Structure 1
Amino acid sequence: MQPIIYATEAITALGDSQAMSSCAIAAGLSAFENHPFMLDMAGAPYKVAMVPLLEPGETQRIPSLVEKILNTTLAKLPTVTESVDLLINLPAPRPGLPPTIAQDVLNVAQAAVASRENVQISISEQGRMGGALAVQSVQKRLADGVEFVVVLAADSYFDATTLSWLDLTGQLLTQVNAWGMVPGEAAAATVFCSPETASTEKQPSAVKLVSVGIANEPGFAQTPPVCTGEGLTTALDSVLAELPADATIDDALSDTNGQLVRTDELGFMFTRRSQYFSEPGKMNTPVDACGDVGAASIPLLINLACELNTAVNVVLASSGGVHEGQKEPAKRAVILLEVATHGA
C-alpha cells in the first residue's frame, strides 16, 4: 500500500495558504527583505523572509505558526474521523530556541484539536530530518489502521540570539559572505491516507508516496565540511528500486539554501545518477523565494511537488548535523512521489 496525499497546507513568507505560496513561487516572486530592526555583525540589516501574518516583534513565532496552520489543515479533514495521527516536527535545539518550545507547541495543538476525537499528537525536535522520519513512518501507521496521518512542521529563525549565532558561524548571506542562506520561517502540513480512504472521500486522483530514503553524510563530519554528495547519492539509491520500470524522475525539489557545500553535493549527485533524471541538473529550490525554512522544509517541498504537472518527482533534503548546532551526524533524505489515480 502506497499512501495517498489527501491534502496540503502551508504558511510562508509568500502567502498564508498553500495555494498562495505555490502561485507566488511559480511566478518567480521573492519575499526577501531587510529585517526592520535587527543588524548583522557588519551593521547591516539582516536579509530575511518573514511571514506577513506575524508582527516583526512577535516572540512566540513557532507556536503561532502551528496554531494558524492547524486550524486550516484540520478543516480539510472530514468532520468525523476514526483516527488521526498528528506528527509535529520542530527545530532541533539551537541557540535562541526556547527550551520550552515543545510544550508551548503541544499546548496550542491540544487546544486546536479539542473539538475532535481520536487525535494522537506526537512532537519531535529533530530539525529537517524530523520531517523525513515522520513521512517514513506514514505507511506503517496507515497499515496499522490509522485513518489520516498529518505530518506538520514549523520553524522560524527570527530570534536575536539565533540570528547572531547563524552570523557568527558563517551560515547567513551577508555583505561579507556570498555563500550563505537567507533565513525564513514557515509552517507546512501534509495529510496522508490510504488509497481506500481517498476513494471513499472521493479524491479522484492524487500524488502517492512511493518511498523514503535516509542516509548519513560523512563529509559534514569534517571542519570545514567537504561534501561530495555521498549521503545524498546513497539516499537516492535506496528509493530508485521503487522507480517504475522505464520511468525517469521528471522534477527534483531541494532545500538547497545558497551554502556552497549544499550546491556542490547536488552537482556530484547529478553527475553520478544523471541517467535517472529526465533533465539532469533541473532543480526547484523554493528557498530562493521564501528563504530557508529549516524544520518545515520537507512537508513544504512535498506540498510544492504536488503542484507540479509531472508524473514522478523527488524531494531532496539535508541536515547539517553539528554544523547546524545538532548533536547527531548530518543526514540526507530523498522522498519519491508519483502521480497516480486510485485503483491504479
Structure 2
Amino acid sequence: MLDFLLPDTRPALPRPVLSVASAGLCCAVGYNLDAAACAIAASMDHFQHSEFIGRNGEPIIVARLDGENVWGQDRLASWIGHAVRDALRHLPDPQQHAMPMLWLAPSPERHGLQADWYKATFNQAMQEFGLPVHPLSAIIPQGRAGLASALEQIGQWLARHPLDRAMLIGADTYLDAASINHYLASERLLADDNSDGFIPGEAAAAVVIERHQLPQDELDALPNRLWLYGWGKGEEAARMGGDVPNRSQGMTTAMRAALSNARVGMADLDFRLSDQNGEAWFVTDAVNALTRITPQDAAKLPVLTLADRLGEIGAATGPAMLAWLHRMRGQPDSQLYPPGELGLLHQANDNGLRSCVIAGFTPPLVA
C-alpha cells in the first residue's frame, strides 16, 4: 500500500541524465493530454459558474469538466487514473514496465487533509484502473512548489535502483467546500468584487521520467524529448498578508540553484513557464527574483502560463507544466511549439516553499 515518502539520510548519488518519455493530463479542458494541449493552444478554457456562492451572493467561477457526476475523493481518484493511463498508453508495452510512482500531493496544512485521505485516494485510483503499485511508490505532500523535491527523489530512485523509469503524478482539486470557504474567507478567489484572485480548478498529471546512460551522440538522436537539466528550491520568510516584507529571497535561491545545477545561465534561456494564477503577490515574487538574478534581461523572457486556461490546480501545476511542454515538442504542429529550446519553470507555495526547474528540448551535455 502507498505511504508517505520518508526522509533519506544517505548521501545523494550523482544525478542521472533524465528526460520525459511520456505524459498524461486530465484537466478542465480535456480528459487526456492531446485534447488539453489542443484546447490550450486554441486559448480555450472551461470556466463556468458553480454552485458555490460568493460573498456578494453571486456564483463563484470555477474551472472544471462536466460529465462525471462524481465528487470528492472519488473524483480525484478517477482523474489520477485517467492521467496515469494516458501516460502509459504512449509507452511501448506499458504492462512490461512496472515503475514506482511518486504522487506530488496537496500540502496538508492547506485545508486540514488527513493522512488517510492521501492513501485512500491514491490506492482507490490504482485499484479502479487495475494499475500495479510498485513497492517504492510514495506520496510527497508538498503542494505546488514540491516539483523540485519530487524530481530530486525520482532522480535518486533511478540512481540507486535498477530502474529505467519512474512516474511523477501531480493531482489536486480546489473544488470542495473546505477549500472554497477557506479562500473565500481569505478574499483570494476571483470575483466581481475581487480582481486580485484566482479561479479554483482541478487536475491530475502523470509524467514518465526516464534515466539515460548513453553516449552524447545517442542522446542527441533521441526524438521528441523534454530534458530535465536541473532544479532547485528555496524558502521564503514572507507570507501573503503577513508583516514580513517579501524580498523574494526564497525564489531567488531556487532559481540560482536550478541554473547552477543545470550548468546554464539566464542568457541561455528562451522562455519561462510561470505558475502565476492571477494573484499579484506571487507575480511580484517571481519578477523580483528574476530582477535579482539578471537586472537587465528579466523582462525579455516570454512568459507562458497554464492557470489562465486550467485555473488554479495546486500540486498538479508542476507535473502539468512538464506534460504540456512534452506534448508541445512531441507533435509537428507549429501552434503547439514553445518559443525556444530552454525554459525556466517556477512555482511558489503559500507556506514559503519555492521551486524552480530548468527544462529543454536539446539533450544536456554529458559530463
Q: TM-score range by the shorter chain?
A: 0.7 to 0.9
Once the 2 structures are TM-superposed, how far is the Cα of residue 152 of structure 1 from its aligned partner?
A: 0.2
Aligned-pair identity (%): 23
Equivalence for 1:313: 343
2:309 is aligned, of 285, 289, 300, to 289
SS of the residue corresponding to residue 101 of structure 1 reads helix
Stretches of structure 1 that go unaligned for 5 or more consecutive residues are: 322-329
1:121 is aligned, of 121, 126, 137, to 137
1:234 is aligned, of 224, 237, 253, to 253
Between the aligned partners of 1:117 and 1:226, the Cα distance in structure 2 is: 44
Equivalence for 2:71: 58
Equivalence for 1:324: none
Equivalence for 2:197: 180
Residue 335 in structure 1 maps to residue 335 in structure 2 = no
Equivalence for 2:282: 262
Q: RMSD between aligned alpha carbons?
A: 2.9
Residue 195 in structure 1 maps to residue 212 in structure 2 = yes
Instruction: Note if contact 2:24-2:85 (Cα within 8 Å) is conserved in structure 1.
Output: no
Instruction: Note if contact 2:174-2:202 (Cα within 8 Å) is conserved in structure 1.
Output: yes
Once the 2 structures are TM-superposed, how far is the Cα of residue 95 of structure 1 from its aligned partner?
A: 2.9
Between the aligned partners of 1:294 and 1:107, the Cα distance in structure 2 is: 20
Between the aligned partners of 1:82 and 1:156, the Cα distance in structure 2 is: 29
Between the aligned partners of 1:136 and 1:109, the Cα distance in structure 2 is: 25
Amino acid at match of 1:164: N
SS of the residue corresponding to residue 100 of structure 1 reads helix
SS of the residue corresponding to residue 84 of structure 1 reads coil
1:44 is aligned, of 58, 76, 83, to 58
Question: TM-score, normalized by length of structure 2?
Answer: 0.81
Please give the per-residue CA displacement for 1:173-193, whole angstroms capped at 9, x wherever unaligned.
122221111101000111111
Residue 170 in structure 1 maps to residue 187 in structure 2 = yes
Between the aligned partners of 2:172 and 2:67, the Cα distance in structure 1 is: 14
Equivalence for 1:7: 22
Once the 2 structures are TM-superposed, how far is the Cα of residue 27 of structure 1 from its aligned partner?
A: 2.0
SS of the residue corresponding to residue 137 of structure 2 reads strand
Matches within 5 A, 1:81-230: 81=96, 83-93=98-108, 94-95=110-111, 97=113, 100-111=116-127, 114=130, 116=132, 120-144=136-160, 145-196=162-213, 203-220=222-239, 223=242, 226-230=245-249
Once the 2 structures are TM-superposed, how far is the Cα of residue 234 of structure 1 from its aligned partner?
A: 1.3
Once the 2 structures are TM-superposed, how far is the Cα of residue 340 of structure 1 from its aligned partner?
A: 2.2
Between the aligned partners of 1:296 and 1:189, the Cα distance in structure 2 is: 9
Once the 2 structures are TM-superposed, how far is the Cα of residue 131 of structure 1 from its aligned partner?
A: 3.2
Instruction: Note if contact 2:240-2:350 (Cα within 8 Å) is conserved in structure 1.
Output: no
1:34 is aligned, of 37, 49, 56, to 49
SS of the residue corresponding to residue 361 of structure 2 reads strand
Instruction: Note if contact 1:189-1:299 (Cα within 8 Å) is conserved in structure 2.
Output: yes
Between the aligned partners of 2:55 and 2:241, the Cα distance in structure 1 is: 26
Amino acid at match of 1:194: R
Once the 2 structures are TM-superposed, how far is the Cα of residue 301 of structure 1 from its aligned partner?
A: 1.2
Structure 2 vs 1, CA of residues 173 and 224 (structure 1 numbering), >3 Å: closer, same or farther?
A: farther
SS of the residue corresponding to residue 5 of structure 1 reads strand
Amino acid at match of 2:91: L
Amino acid at match of 1:314: L
Structure 2 vs 1, CA of residues 164 and 222 (structure 1 numbering), >3 Å: closer, same or farther?
A: closer
Instruction: Note if contact 1:6-1:203 (Cα within 8 Å) is conserved in structure 2.
Output: no
Instruction: Note if contact 1:6-1:192 (Cα within 8 Å) is conserved in structure 2.
Output: yes
Between the aligned partners of 2:172 and 2:236, the Cα distance in structure 1 is: 23
Between the aligned partners of 2:195 and 2:241, the Cα distance in structure 1 is: 21
Instruction: Note if contact 2:259-2:266 (Cα within 8 Å) is conserved in structure 1.
Output: no
Equivalence for 2:333: none
Instruction: Note if contact 1:66-1:154 (Cα within 8 Å) is conserved in structure 2.
Output: yes
Between the aligned partners of 1:160 and 1:172, the Cα distance in structure 2 is: 13
Residue 25 in structure 1 maps to residue 40 in structure 2 = yes
Equivalence for 2:323: 303
Which is worse superposed, 167-176 or 265-274? Answer: 265-274
Structure 2 vs 1, CA of residues 246 and 174 (structure 1 numbering), >3 Å: closer, same or farther?
A: closer
Which is worse superposed, 147-156 or 301-310? Answer: 301-310
How many residues were matched structurally? 333
Between the aligned partners of 1:117 and 1:196, the Cα distance in structure 2 is: 26
Question: TM-score, normalized by length of structure 1?
Answer: 0.86
Equivalence for 1:325: none
Between the aligned partners of 2:133 and 2:189, the Cα distance in structure 1 is: 43
Between the aligned partners of 1:224 and 1:34, the Cα distance in structure 2 is: 35
Once the 2 structures are TM-superposed, how far is the Cα of residue 246 of structure 1 from its aligned partner?
A: 8.9
Instruction: Note if contact 2:347-2:356 (Cα within 8 Å) is conserved in structure 1.
Output: yes
